């Protein structure tokens, strides 16, 4: 069975890059009717936090990247890592190292001076004839005995064949002095225990893969397939970070992006289906293959994301959008603030212009918060030359059927009767009825507000005209 995982370290928010990795691993598992699991890699106790874990879980839930079963927590599997470490010690594939941090930095310094690449020199390998000191304050770390010779290679499903010489690698620490497993060790034990078939992760981990393969081989365990996804860069070609704009997924949520738009956009970061920019998550699952993932870094384009978000807002049912903005609306105007208007109808009127749901809520609010126009607008638009035309239009409003077509026809009749251009009538009407120059289409706005309200507002304002 295909089994993939997303394995974030809870040391910060879930960022765009992590979410893209999660999406690809999730989509791959969905495509093959496999399983996608979530594993929280929280053994770096100094840096892991509960808030970060919660934030990651919330972000995954919001995006709809559902995982199979409960999330695994590495902190709950410490015994298991110890058990595997003991096996390696028994088989002389791992050993305790008592070198102090000062000693190791001296060692590296002297390597640098001699023009060598700094690396652990194997001083605590048993054959190097050291005995554990009888009295020491140093709590040892456990090191994996990396093979001295030969090559490690794997067929990366994105990058193709990658080969590294063992001479490049040193004996890495697998248990810290507090007994916790390091990333490379926890990952190996877990990917194997959890029967992960495909390890899909960012290419910042390519250097770790040969180390992980060596440990798997030392344990006589089968190797998973590996796929390393390209980096994501900002417009300036630097690795995407906070200074390029929002980076955390929950910040996007707060800024009014829809999860569908985020997923669609993330899918385009390093993968594509021809030139298609907009597609559903089901289409992505259908089309997704790892061999179409690009080796080259992807560029994050905020404008494209905004465009997609706008498109998704347009096609999201008004009732669904209502649920997203209703809290902000009732916080601002109270539960009764929409009068007898259904929130979803107001949304229907204004949503085509909104780039995000924050803008959408603002447009709804400015629609609901009618205030009489300011004196500047009154002076600008309430002029004698347009008065007869407005009056003519107002009179028609008492007799027509109240719908968008009839209101539109009435506008046309008044315009042609007085030989006016559309804005000459529309602008003062907007100011009179909405209190501002900008509003959605007049006929739709009036239809929604209803005859009584529209006529009452026009009547109140008509008396202010200077004739």
18 vs 256, beta carbon nearer ligand GLU = 18
201 binds ligand GLU (CB under 6 A): yes
183 vs 312, beta carbon nearer ligand GLU = 183
162 vs 462, beta carbon nearer ligand GLU = 162
Say how far apart CA 381 and CA 420 lie, in whole Å: 14
Distance of closest approach, residue 109 Cβ to ligand GLU, in angstroms: 29
β-strand partners of 38: 6
203 vs 260, beta carbon nearer ligand GLU = 203
Nearest residue to 237 via CA among 298, 167, 170: 298
Asked whether the CA dihedral 337, 338, 344, 346 is positive or negative, the reply is negative
67 binds ligand GLU (CB under 6 A): no
351 binds ligand GLU (CB under 6 A): no
10 binds ligand GLU (CB under 6 A): no
Distance of closest approach, residue 84 Cβ to ligand GLU, in angstroms: 17
15 vs 143, beta carbon nearer ligand GLU = 15
Distance of closest approach, residue 326 Cβ to ligand GLU, in angstroms: 36
143, with CB counted inside 10 A (0-12, 13-18, 19+), is buried
Candidates 6-14, 100-108, 142-150, 165-173; binding stretch for ligand GLU (CB under 6 A): 6-14
204 vs 331, beta carbon nearer ligand GLU = 204
Say how far apart CA 440 and CA 424 lie, in whole Å: 16
DSSP 8-state assignment for residue 248:
B
Say how far apart CA 29 and CA 196 lie, in whole Å: 11
9 binds ligand GLU (CB under 6 A): yes
Distance of closest approach, residue 183 Cβ to ligand GLU, in angstroms: 6
Q: How many CB atoms lie within 10 A of CB 456?
A: 13
**Number of residue whose CB is nearest ligand GLU:** 201
DSSP state string for 429-466: HHHHHHSSS--S-HHHHHHHH-HHHHHHHHHHHHTT--
Residues 161-200 contacting ligand GLU, CB under 6 A: 183, 187
41 binds ligand GLU (CB under 6 A): yes
Q: How many CB atoms lie within 10 A of CB 194?
A: 14
Instruction: Give the number of residues in contact with ligand GLU, rule: CB under 6 A.
Output: 8
8 binds ligand GLU (CB under 6 A): yes
Q: What binding mask, one character per residue, do residues 98-127 give for ligand GLU by CB under 6 A, x or -?
A: ------------------------------
Distance of closest approach, residue 177 Cβ to ligand GLU, in angstroms: 21
Element of type H or E holding 79: helix 78-90
7 binds ligand GLU (CB under 6 A): yes
Candidates 2-10, 145-153, 223-231, 459-467; binding stretch for ligand GLU (CB under 6 A): 2-10
Q: What's the gap between Cα 294 and its chain centre?
A: 20
The residues, ordered by sequence, that sit 6+ positions from 25 with a Cβ below 8 Å of its Cβ are 4, 5, 6, 36, 198, 200, 201
Alpha helices in 194-301 (DSSP H): 209-218, 249-254, 259-267, 281-287
Residues that bind ligand GLU (CB under 6 A): 7-9, 41, 183, 187, 201, 205
């Amino acid at each position: 069975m295909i089994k993939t995982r997303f394995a974030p370290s809870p040391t910060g928010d879930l960022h765009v890059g992590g979410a893209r990795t999660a999406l690809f691993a999730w989509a791959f598992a969905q495509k093959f009717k496999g399983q996608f699991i979530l594993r929280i890699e929280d053994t770096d106790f100094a840096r892991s936090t509960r808030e970060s874990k919660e934030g990651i879980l919330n972000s995954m839930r919001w995006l709809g990247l559902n995982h199979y079963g409960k999330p695994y927590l590495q902190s709950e599997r410490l015994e298991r890592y110890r058990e595997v470490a003991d096996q390696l010690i028994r088989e002389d594939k791992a050993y305790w190292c008592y070198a102090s941090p000062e000693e190791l930095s001296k060692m590296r310094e002297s390597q640098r001076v001699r023009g060598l690449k700094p690396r652990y020199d194997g001083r605590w390998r048993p054959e190097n004839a050291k005995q554990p000191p009888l009295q020491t304050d140093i709590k040892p770390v456990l090191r994996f005995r990396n093979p001295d010779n030969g090559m490690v290679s794997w067929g990366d499903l994105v990058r193709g064949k990658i080969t590294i010489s063992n001479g490049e690698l040193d004996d890495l620490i697998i248990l810290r002095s507090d007994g916790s497993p390091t990333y490379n060790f926890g990952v190996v034990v877990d990917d194997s225990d959890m029967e992960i078939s495909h390890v899909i992760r960012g290419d910042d981990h390519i250097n770790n893969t040969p180390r992980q393969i060596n440990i798997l081989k030392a344990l006589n365990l089968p190797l998973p397939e590996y796929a390393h996804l390209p980096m994501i860069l900002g417009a300036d070609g630097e690795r995407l970070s906070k200074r390029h704009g929002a980076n955390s997924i929950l910040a996007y949520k707060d800024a009014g992006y829809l999860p569908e738009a985020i997923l669609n956009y993330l899918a385009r970061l390093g993968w594509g289906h021809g030139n298609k920019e907009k597609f559903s998550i089901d289409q992505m699952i259908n089309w997704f293959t790892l061999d179409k993932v690009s080796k080259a870094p992807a560029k994050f384009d905020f404008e494209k994301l905004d465009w997609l978000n706008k498109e998704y807002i347009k096609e999201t049912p008004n009732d669904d959008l209502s649920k997203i903005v209703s809290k902000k609306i009732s916080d601002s105007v109270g539960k009764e603030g929409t009068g007898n208007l259904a929130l979803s109808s107001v949304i229907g009127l204004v949503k085509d212009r909104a780039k995000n749901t924050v803008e959408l809520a603002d447009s709804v609010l400015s629609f609901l918060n009618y205030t009489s126009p300011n004196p500047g607008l009154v002076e600008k638009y309430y002029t004698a030359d347009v008065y007869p035309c407005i009056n003519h239009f107002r009179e028609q409003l008492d007799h027509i059927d109240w719908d968008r077509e009839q209101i539109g026809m009435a506008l046309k009749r008044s315009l042609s009767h007085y030989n006016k251009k559309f804005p000459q009538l529309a602008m003062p009407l907007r100011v009179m009825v909405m209190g501002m120059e900008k509003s959605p289409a007049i006929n739709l706005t009036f239809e929604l507000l209803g005859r009584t309200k529209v006529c009452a507002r026009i009547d109140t304002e008509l008396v202010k005209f200077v004739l």
